[in-house]
Structure 1
Amino acid sequence: MSSPAKPPPPRSSPPLQNEEAQRPSPSLPPPVPVASTSALPPSSPPPVADELDKEYPPDAIVTYRHLLSPQSLTPSNPLRVIGHCDVDAAYAQFEGVRLGLDKTVPIAVQQWQGLIAINYPARAFGITRHMNVSLSSLTISPFPHFFSPAESYLVCQIMEARKRCPELIACHVATLKDGEDEPKYHENPQITTHKVSLEPYRKESQKIIKIFQRCVPEGEIEKASIDEAYLDLSLPIRNLLLTRYPHLSILPPNSPLGLDTPLPPAPKLDWESSEWGIPPSPISPPPKDPSSDSEEGGGGREGNGWSDVALWLGGEVMERVRGEVEKELGYTTSAGISHNKILAKVCSAYKKPRAQTVLRTSAVSRFLRPMAFQKIRFLGGKLGDAIANEYGAATVGDLLSVSLEEMQRKFGEESLWVYNILRGIDHSEVKEKSLAKSMLASKNMRPPLTALEQGQPWLRVLCVELVGRLKEARGETSDGETGEQGSGVWPKTLVLSWREADLHHNNAGSSNKSKQLPFPFHRPLSPDGPILKIATRLLGEILASNSSLKPGTKPIRIINLALGFTGLERGEEGQRGIEGFLRSGASTSAKVGKRKEVELDEERNAVAGSSTPSTSSSSKKLKNDRPRPSSDDNDDDEEVSISDATWTCPDCSKILPIPSHSELDRVKGEHQDWHIAKALQEETVGSVASSSSSGSKREGIGKKSTTTLNKKKKSNAKENVGGLGGWLLKK
């Protein structure tokens, strides 16, 4: 049996072509030592130069405008530098660091009896996530009746893995069970009592992103998944170019083309002996244009221009970033650096693990043409299969002879992006992920749920996970305080989704169905609070028919249960002000405890409208960033007319404009929040009054305001209003 392969020792960064260039100088500091790389994988023979190489565009001529004009920092700028960084066998590394294991120890991450991640030492034994194992070759009998054939196959994986590597450390992912407030690493989790949680991995991912942001504060960071991210290094590299080559910061006098004058010749870089680069495609450079000096601007197929220098510097920056991740967290990474996201992504996996690759324009043809085109992002799945079947193609090179007109005739005008991707052209931007519009926690039910009593423990488990993620988005600390970054984040709706088993099989089910209710703002945020009450109510409505089945009627059997938030948004300034007022009031007023009791009594007395199951139209609504108001999901009719596009408050008689029907609930909710905040403020003022007569007067105001609010809530019991004091449940 072979032993696990040890990681390769660190090697130095790509050398420059001559010794003089390697000495420190103001214009070209010595390269940063490389944290790692491994030997290049066996490569196919260099392709013979042919007409298809001309399908790939050459480097553009770099001008002073590209370097000096802020408006030129666009996706088409030849000095654009994009990095893609991927954590090597992320889940396995996370577990290895958590357990303090040596990097040479073979590790597999286990989810129930299946493998979801294998580190590189374990792969040396031939262990993979998709081993070809037949059930007949192993003795696992009998399988539980609720395991599908696919799940039974997963049971075989871990057994086969241990046969191949007895020293394998199998770490089960963290799980949640009823009664716990956070995921834990249980010794023997059971699929019937525990729920898988990837929260520990998400937290490690956030640590890595923060290192990226700290190391390249001028760059843009886009988190692509839990273990990978894109980094737009264009602006940092532009500044680095001007620092290392200060003569580029001044436009030469008497430049005939002004800012469109090509840059002077770039320094020569020894890509052939570097560990970063890929040899260029074997094609002669195009004839020089007599009207311009392509060598000065870095144009042409041969490269070695300023766009290549920018990528070289991008390689240095990326190595520093990767070194910081490994130094602080102990995680090795692999990276790709190129001029766009697609190329950076495909080349980041070229020399895994613990390495990086720089893909310059002159090498794109040689790199892409022999590649299986379905390995490129977005070209797999059904689209890739359709293209492969239509043209009998397997590699990128097989598709280069297909004209744009032919591709658009077969697959529509939008196939232009496919045509471009095959040629290494991609103008998509690196954008920081905005606030997620939804969150979801789900659990496959084994055996299927048929009664509310069965589902209640699982509902709390889902609530714990969902509340934890919402607190993280809000930036809340353990004492409930909200950080500045997440302040005001709140979902509009709580959605309960489920999938039912068919009549004959427990594990084959219908399409997803869902029910939803508005989610009221409240503090503190707890898994045992309104979220659990709303979820319990919705599940009770779903399974209500099972308690009174007619003869011949099949019961509802839920095989998947999911709880989610939709419509997450940062609240308006007014809402955040109310939230801040509540926090400050809690610390300064002695009446807060009593006030909370009054608010809870109001919640218990409020009447909640009934919810309705989603139809095909409501399923589309769930995908909308701004769902329609909850009144549209209520069986009760609205009592307030909006024919005049205004709404009159019954308490203060203020007339408020209604921009549209969809804005009615928002306007009413925000105005009601104002009334509540005003009443609470008056109570707070009354609690600190020194004079007894003044205190009595303030107390009367507070009682009057509270009475007014109670009357308002009773009169508007059928209205689904959002915000503080919004939709509340029956106790």
Structure 2
Amino acid sequence: MPSPLTTHRRRRPLERPSPPHHRIVLLFDLDAFYAQTERVRLGLELDASVALLQWNSVLAVTYPAREYGIKRGDSWEAVASKSKHKCIAIHLPILPMRENDSRIVNNDDSKVAEDEEEQDENDSEGKDISFETSNTDREAFDKEFRLSKEEREQIFKNENGVQRYHHQGKASLERYRLASRVIFTNVLDSLKRRVGKGFILEKASIDEFYLDITEYCYGDVEGKCDNDDDVDVRKTKLVGGNGKEWGETELDMNDADDLEVALWRACQLSACIRNDIWKNLGLTMSAGISTNKMMSKLTASFGKPNGQAVLHPKNFGKLMSETKVRKVRNFGGKLGKRVLDVLHTNSASEQSLEDFSSNATMGDLAQVPLTVLQQAFSSETAQFVFQACQGIDNEMVKETSGALVKSITAFKSFTANKNHDEVLAWLKLLAKEIAERVAQDAARNHRYPKTCTLNYTYYTTADGRRPQDRMSARTQRQSRSYRLVFPADRMSIVAQSESLVEQAMTKLAPILKEHPLRGVGLAASNFESRGQPPEGNASIESFFSVETAINMTQGDFRHKSNNNSSALPNNKRQRINSAPFEAQVPHTNESKEVPWNFPDTTPTVIDTDLELAKKLQASYDRENYVFSKLNSRGEGMPRRERKRRQSKSTRFSRSDSGKSLFTLGPFRQSFLQLILV
């Protein structure tokens, strides 16, 4: 058998088998992701025992810690007693309920969870720009995880064994989202370097990635794995091979069928990618290699921890006969429950449904005829279930262009609460987190949400009344949601948070009078792409796509548009938006100083574009009217001055009505540009 590390620029192309086994699909699964991330942050060895907790429940456990019998759901006391205080116990980062609360030791160094200092409402240099676009994910990752020895020792001292409580704040997963994005980017970069093209990478969850390398495995282009001397693909476990590793078999690559050779190539590339992640980030991944998503996910469990396993279609039947129904992808929820009900009904078992469900396998399900499944399910669902129990999954790997999420969500559960002020405090915390995460996402991915969904939960009895005991058999959990408008991206983070809170409390106030809430959440969604902001001044063509609206509320002069183009630099726009109302309206009389420096040149006009000129003229007439009304508004100023301005504004409107924009002087042209954008 040739060495697995021998590579060539060109190799023998392979013939693809017929469906359904014509694809090569991998699943990369981070080992104990949350706990492992903390191990890397604290600079601990690979064999360190680490448990990550949320409140009084273990969320994730490294594999060395599992040897003590520690499992998910254990309490702080259980972790300490089982390991005899040898297991490191770290709590999730939390967003503090009250800023500058001395009782809380914030264990999240990321900007998301930092206590922000109180600042003046008009200070646009503060919270408005708390997320700088120059800070890439990798830079943030290095700041969070590449700490000095002294810093890590101090963090370990402050966090190990320190318990947190519900009332202190909300758990934050931003540290782990950041790590997930960096891992995804590293996997993608490694694939591009080694394969070039011929792969599809999908982010399935925060710690799982699907990879379709069918084109690479069956093609004639050799990958770049020849310099990985510490990678040995022969350690890959063979599922269905009686516990053997690939190197222990008598497989002759010259006599192997094309599917076996393709799987071998996939194992080789998988080992190289996993090794890259270990070298670059210090994180371990397990991998499952097979011919579809469902089987590669099942296979990955045989490679854990820090290993990989491969499954040939000829061994599908054996694996499915040993696999519990609820352990299979897509069978863990409502579909799995219904399938087990049908299986139990059509079996001769005298066990209860609960006992039967805990032992039923996909092999048992394979004995149910398709006609029986079609009576219980739709034709499409019945076909899916029938094929799944044979190891067939036709779902394609879908390319993820970046580590994008469909929604940005923050939720907080708490004890039953009807107190308006306390619910308001939680909403402020959630809104602030959402606004900050959206700002990060917008800077990174150039997109912005249009909507925000308010979610809340409460408990009632079957007759709709307030329950006396939440655990009563007659208690029902109720979940409701309302759609809110996500604030404009030009607003500061503080203003966005206040807008979300105001909208949410308007919806929740009537609910609080009837039911105590058990939890509230906000979810930003319905993203739309935004182009890169233009450098320098925008061209005149950019004005035509802007639908201008001015909110003429006291002390508020804001421009809103459907794009992010502006002739003003960001810092100047921020100064303008934060200025007092009167300072934002330029005065043309000589006794007043114009607060902005306008360009001396006028915009270039395309004489032949009559249609665009008409649109611009219409916009000018409309803005001229709004401007006159804005000038005439003046609550708070002397009556005589207000009348004088009204008279002047009327003369301005009449004198300029019907005139072409291009006959105006440079000052008014420049000002029109400003209010149009």
- Please give the TM-score of this superposition, normalised by the length of structure 2: 0.62
3-state DSSP of counterpart to 1:585: coil
Q: Which among 156, 167, 174 is matched to residue 199 of structure 1?
A: 174
**Equivalent residue for 1:151?**
none
Q: Which among 22, 26, 31 is matched to residue 83 of structure 1?
A: 26
Conserved 8 A contact 1:493-1:518: yes
Q: CA deviation at 1:172?
A: 0.4
User: Which amino acid in the other structure matches residue 233 of structure 1?
Assistant: I
Change (3 A) 1:505 1:416: same
1:160 aligns with 2:88: no
Change (3 A) 1:396 1:596: same
Partners of 1:525 and 1:595 in 2: how far apart?
Answer: 10
Change (3 A) 1:586 1:310: same
Partners of 2:64 and 2:396 in 1: how far apart?
Answer: 36
**Equivalent residue for 1:209?**
184
User: How do 1:526-545 and structure 2 match up within 5 A?
Assistant: 526=493, 528-543=494-509
Q: CA deviation at 1:595?
A: 6.0
Partners of 1:600 and 1:495 in 2: how far apart?
Answer: 36
Q: CA deviation at 1:578?
A: 7.4
Q: CA deviation at 1:63?
A: 9.4
User: How do 1:271-670 and structure 2 match up within 5 A?
Assistant: 275-279=236-240, 304-381=256-333, 382-392=337-347, 394-413=360-379, 414-433=381-400, 436-446=405-415, 448-451=417-420, 453-474=421-442, 476=443, 483=444, 486-487=445-446, 489-502=447-460, 503-505=466-468, 510-523=477-490, 525-526=492-493, 528-543=494-509, 555-571=514-530, 581-582=565-566, 585-586=568-569, 593-594=575-576, 597=579
Partners of 2:414 and 2:582 in 1: how far apart?
Answer: 34
User: Which amino acid in the other structure matches residue 389 of structure 1?
Assistant: H
Q: Which among 180, 190, 214 is matched to residue 234 of structure 1?
A: 214
User: Which amino acid in the other structure matches residue 581 of structure 1?
Assistant: S
Q: CA deviation at 1:332?
A: 1.3
Q: CA deviation at 1:210?
A: 0.8
* Stretch deviating more after TM superposition (438-447 or 87-96): 438-447
Conserved 8 A contact 1:336-1:357: yes
User: How do 1:49-198 and structure 2 match up within 5 A?
Assistant: 66=16, 76=19, 78-130=21-73, 157-166=75-84, 167-177=86-96, 178-179=98-99, 182-183=112-113, 188-198=163-173
**Equivalent residue for 2:204?**
224
Q: CA deviation at 1:401?
A: 2.4
Aligned residues: CA RMSD: 4.2
Conserved 8 A contact 1:220-1:432: yes
Change (3 A) 1:23 1:198: closer
Change (3 A) 1:505 1:334: farther
User: Which amino acid in the other structure matches residue 334 of structure 1?
Assistant: S
Partners of 1:543 and 1:601 in 2: how far apart?
Answer: 37
User: Which amino acid in the other structure matches residue 91 of structure 2?
Assistant: H
Q: Please give the per-residue CA displacement for 1:10-65, whole angstroms capped at 9, x wherever unaligned.
A: xxxxxx3xxx6679574899xxxxxxxxxxxxxxxxxxxxxxxxxxxxxxxx9977
Q: Please give the per-residue CA displacement for 1:443-501, whole angstroms capped at 9, x wherever unaligned.
A: 113351421x3233322321232123323332x2xxxxxx5xx22x1211223222234
Partners of 1:559 and 1:200 in 2: how far apart?
Answer: 26
User: Which amino acid in the other structure matches residue 390 of structure 2?
Assistant: R
Change (3 A) 1:541 1:127: closer
**Equivalent residue for 2:642?**
none
Change (3 A) 1:407 1:599: farther
1:697 aligns with 2:665: yes
Partners of 2:581 and 2:25 in 1: how far apart?
Answer: 53
Conserved 8 A contact 1:76-1:427: no
**Equivalent residue for 2:245?**
none
Q: Identity across aligned pairs (percent)?
A: 24
Conserved 8 A contact 1:438-1:564: yes
Partners of 1:701 and 1:159 in 2: how far apart?
Answer: 72
* Stretch deviating more after TM superposition (456-465 or 113-122): 456-465
Partners of 2:73 and 2:571 in 1: how far apart?
Answer: 60
3-state DSSP of counterpart to 2:188: helix
Change (3 A) 1:395 1:699: same
**Equivalent residue for 2:608?**
none
Unaligned runs of 5+ in 1: 1-15, 30-61, 68-74, 132-156, 245-269, 282-296, 477-482, 547-553, 604-648, 655-670, 677-693, 710-723, 725-731
User: Which amino acid in the other structure matches residue 239 of structure 2?
Assistant: I
Change (3 A) 1:652 1:28: closer
Change (3 A) 1:25 1:357: closer
Q: CA deviation at 1:79?
A: 4.9
Partners of 1:543 and 1:449 in 2: how far apart?
Answer: 10
3-state DSSP of counterpart to 2:168: coil
* Stretch deviating more after TM superposition (173-182 or 410-419): 173-182
Q: How many pairs were matched up?
A: 482
Q: CA deviation at 1:594?
A: 3.6
